[in-house]
Structure 1
Amino acid sequence: MEKSRKTFVNKVDQMLAAASSMHRDELLFSYKGILYPAAVYSPEVFQALESFEARSDDVILAGYPKTGTNWLSQILSDLVAISQKKTPGSESSVKAEEVEELPYLEVGDAEKYERMSKYPSPRFMVTHLRPENLPKSIFKNRVKILLLIRNPKDVATSLYHFYNDVTTLPSYETWDDFFTDFVAKKTAWGSYFEYLSEWNKYADQENIMTITYEEVKENPALAVKTIATFFGIPLTEEELQLVVERCSFQSMKKNSEKTHGEFGNVLFRKGCVGDWKNLFTEDQSKKIDNAFEEHMAGTKLGKKLKYDLYCKA
């Protein structure tokens, strides 16, 4: 196993182990009105993050949990490796300086950002945070951000399974119980509709590109090509095919134990569109429809989601 992946897996395993000894009521904490998993995040790191100095050539992936951020992380990591004239997946594509860090900007320790200041460009990072909770330097320096969104019913469905499969989050006895908390903003990372609404304020900026889970699923090659163009990374046809092959759900699930340890089985569950139809009642479906109308109807991100296509039975 690549040294960096081994370090990544060890850190994830430590978080899972820490959470397994915590009481259900201790698993989440609130920071600026939003709940987060206590074994993964900390107020001290959030505070330290505020002074993080972003570079204009950083590569950032932003997405609410279970919108496909691990999938797109694979694509972007490979593209960054190609931009550095390295072969994705090879030992040479691993930067020794980045061995100790997790890719999530807001996860780690408070000294993480001092270490990151010594990394060569381009630095790749992922975030689940809303724009108002990100360091101001990201927007001041006009860092390019790939914003990943997914239809809200599949997000809720995937998040429910995630809650019940991972020790860092409190499990639910029934889907109905989870759904009630999801719409009441009582689940980790806060309201998905508020997340979308906040990011919609930035959707017209040239340094932000929005892509949906569904369009990547429909045409991975086109998605990879579009993302590479946005970040200014030239690709040969051979490199394009390599990235597409490595980012397929089947390939990532097959390699998940090597890349993510035991956590891999949780992350790569189905990778499909429309799984919400297996859980949602008609009443629950209408509640999400109403929430979408209230928060996202007529907005740029709302149109991008193609709600009627993916969220109407």
Structure 2
Amino acid sequence: MAHKYFIYKGMQFPRLDYSLEVLSYVENEFQVRDDDVFNITYPKSGTNWMLEILSLIRCGGDPSWVRSVLNWERAPWVENVPGLEVALKYPPPRLLCSHLPVQLFPKSLQRSKAKIIYTLRCPKDVLVSLYHFSKLVHLFRDPGSLDSFLEDFLSGNLPYGSWFDHVTGWMGLKGKENFFSITYEELQQDPWDSVRRICHFLGKELSEEQVAAVVENASFQSMKGNKMSNFSQLRDEYMKHQHGGLLRKGICGDWRNHLSEAQSQRFDTVYRERMQGLGMTFPWD
């Protein structure tokens, strides 16, 4: 049932909360507005952290909104059934989330000035985080062994497809004035500067006190303790809460605690092959 997927345009999606009709509607009919702000990531790349940061920037660092409204209602995922319902009723300006690759994203984006914030993360950390996440949620099938999951990740045999295709697709928009990219590693290393840069991109200048409030209220500890942000309110049909929480570690480089030397080398070989044409370097390179 929930662990099975269906295929839309060659890509796997969970049956739980997703449908061919909604994906087709989002791609072809969903109207992106000029004042929309999209938080876009490949799964497990810092989506909820960025969602929290954007929610707090919107409120000038005041945490009352993030402590009173569930994060998936503050910034719904447009591509699933309940998320689309919220997005269509959302008063402007909308804050929206998506894991969709660029080729399945609403076509109306091309005619709009909507702002895209794209967060990337070291793919080895994404792999490890996604492996643990897949054991927790009913959306995804059991990941099996780390060895077999590694092969699924490298081949793109997962919901939302290949990390490599996702990143190269979205980073193709780099240089456009409504596109901003940042890495999880930059957010970790200097959250104050990261928040200032995001504010500048959004055209929302905050005082240093407000920036500090955003950083503090979007910290891992703050989010872990906030039931509106830690997914503890997700119903049991979606998540095995007894096996752990969604916010697991929130650190960089955790892959070193999980991948063997052979697995790491196997990953590096495919990474070099797939990323050589991009002409970009990342903090993890």
TM range (shorter): 0.7 to 0.9
Q: What amino acid is the match of 2:24?
A: Q
User: Within 1, Cα distance between the matches of 2:160 and 2:72?
Assistant: 27
Partners in 2 of 1:144 and 1:222 — Cα distance? 19
Measured in 2, the distance between the counterparts of 1:99 and 1:205 equals 28
Task: Give the direction of change, closer, same or farther, for the CA distance of 1:111–1:66 in structure 2 (3 Å limit).
Answer: closer
Partner of 2:78: 105
Q: CA deviation at 1:115?
A: 3.3
Paired residue for 2:255? 276
Alignment of 1:144-155 (within 5 A): 144-155=115-126
Equivalence map 1:195-214=2 (5 Å): 195-214=166-185
Q: Shift of the alpha carbon at 1:170?
A: 1.2
CA deviation digits over 1:252-282, x for unaligned, max 9? 1111467522558532000011111122122
Deviation string, structure 1 residues 121-154 (Cα, Å, up to 9, x no partner): 2210011011111111112113111110011100
SS of residue paired to 1:211? strand
1:88 to 63, 66, 73: 63
Separation (CA, whole Å) in 1 of partners of 2:9 and 2:85: 21
> How far is the alpha carbon of 1:221 from its aligned partner?
1.1
Counterparts of 1:27-176 in structure 2, within 5 Å, are: 28-49=5-26, 50-82=28-60, 87-90=62-65, 103-109=76-82, 112=85, 115-116=88-89, 119-176=90-147
**1 CA distance for matches of 2:159 and 2:88?**
28
Pair 61,277 (structure 1): closer, same or farther in 2 beyond 3 Å: same
Q: What's the secondary structure of 1:280's corresponding residue?
A: coil
SS at match of 1:260: coil
For 1:110 and 1:238, the matched residues in 2 are separated by 33
Pairs within 5 Å for 1:177-192: 177-192=148-163
The reply to whether residue 222 of structure 1 matches residue 193 of structure 2 is yes
Residue in structure 2 matched with residue 12 of structure 1 by the alignment:
none
1: CA distance, partners of 2:170 / 2:161: 14
Could you tell me which residue of structure 1 aligns to residue 237 of structure 2? none
Identity %: 37
User: In proportion to residue count, which structure has more helix?
Assistant: 1
Unmatched segments (≥5 aa) in structure 1: 1-21, 309-313
> AA paired with 1:42?
S
Residue aligned with 2:96, SS = strand
Q: Could you tell me which amino acid in structure 2 is paired with residue 160 of structure 1? A: Y
Q: Call closer, same or farther: CA 1:289–1:230 in 2, change over 3 Å.
A: same
Distance 1:287 1:135, change over 3 A: same
What displacement does 1:42 show?
1.3
Farther off after superposition, 155-164 or 173-182: 173-182
Counterparts of 2:252 and 2:91 in 1: how far apart (Å)? 37
TM-score normalised by length of structure 1 = 0.80
| 2:66/2:228 contact within 8 Å kept | no
Aligned 8 A contact 1:45 1:109 in 2:
no
Determine if the alignment matches structure 1 residue 296 to structure 2 residue 275.
yes
- Aligned residue number for residue 311 of structure 1: none
Q: How many angstroms apart in 2 are the aligned matches of 1:220 and 1:80?
A: 17
What letter corresponds to residue 130 of structure 1 in structure 2? Answer: P
Deviation at 1:157, TM superposition (A): 0.6
Is 1:243 equivalent to 2:218 in the alignment? no
- Report the secondary structure of 2:182's partner residue: strand
Report the CA distance shift for 1:284/1:221 in structure 2 as closer, same or farther (over 3 A).
Answer: same
Aligned residue in 2 for 1:4: none
Q: For structure 1, which segment, 210-219 or 28-37, has the greater mean C-alpha deviation from structure 2 after superposition?
A: 28-37
Spell out, residue by residue over 1:146-201, the C-alpha distance to the aligned partner (whole angstroms, 9 max, x if none): 11001110010100000111122111342112112222222221110111111122
Q: Is the 8 A contact 1:34 1:190 kept in 2?
A: yes
Q: Shift of the alpha carbon at 1:110?
A: 9.4
Cα offsets for 1:271-307 (capped at 9, x unmatched)? 011111122122221222122222223525x41x223
- Quote the Cα distance in structure 2 between the aligned partners of 1:110 and 1:72: 17
TM-score (norm 2): 0.87
1:79 is paired with a residue whose SS is: helix
